[in-house]
Amino acid sequence: MTSFSIDRATYSVGEGALELMVLDKSAFPQSFQGHQVIREGPLDNNTLAENGFDGITAERFIKAGRVTGVMRELGPTSNMVMADGFDFMAASVVHLFDTPDSVHTWMHEIFLKDFEDRVGESIGQGHQLVSVTRREPQGFFDEAVGLRVLQGGADGLISSTVVDFRVGRLLGVVFIGAVGDHDRLEQVQLLGQALEKRMVGVVLGSS
């Protein structure tokens, strides 16, 4: 299967198929099986803008070619201790775009650039974006980019390792958030590869 044939196959994917692509809780790492689902379901452009950086609009996402998306996010239960090194959050997201080129542009001009341009700024909830470091994810079929994001607040530091990867006109996103200054690239790569396999399976009708 070539990248061209995958690209072509994703044009037959409708919005309803996205819900079949995001990972079930059981597909997340064992360390997250005691966590709870805190957010899941459709992620339209308005919702994405409302939960993004200040000043970002749904119109910007529409112009970038984003159609819609679906997500599933796991978070801690009330009895979990938020100690240094604890992986408190993980998510898988699938976005649908108008073309594969739009996915590439989004990865570089919105995902990477938006984070890198806001280092040092307040990002809400009393947090500041402390640093952003590019990572180079391995083991994906097509293009993949990654970031390790460090943010700080009154309760200390929180780090997030995020990987974006392309499957035709689909964008897969996975991340793990940890308490303290930590890198979770290896774990996030495995999570991303599981999501990629699921996405391709749905695209090819084998799921």
DSSP, residue by residue, the chain: --HHHHHHHHTT--GGGHHHHSPPGGGS-GGGTTSEEEEEEE--HHHHHHTSSTT--HHHHHHTTEEEEEEEEEE--TT----TT-EEEEEEEEEEESSHHHHHHIIIIIIIHHHHHTTTSB-STT-EEEEEEEE---S-SS-EEEEEEEEEETTEEEEEEEEEEEETTEEEEEEEEEESS---HHHHHHHHHHHHHHHHHHHTT--
pLDDT at site 207: 42
pLDDT means over runs of 10, the chain (207 residues): 80 93 96 96 95 89 97 96 96 98 97 95 86 97 97 92 97 98 97 97 80
Q: Global pTM? A: 0.94
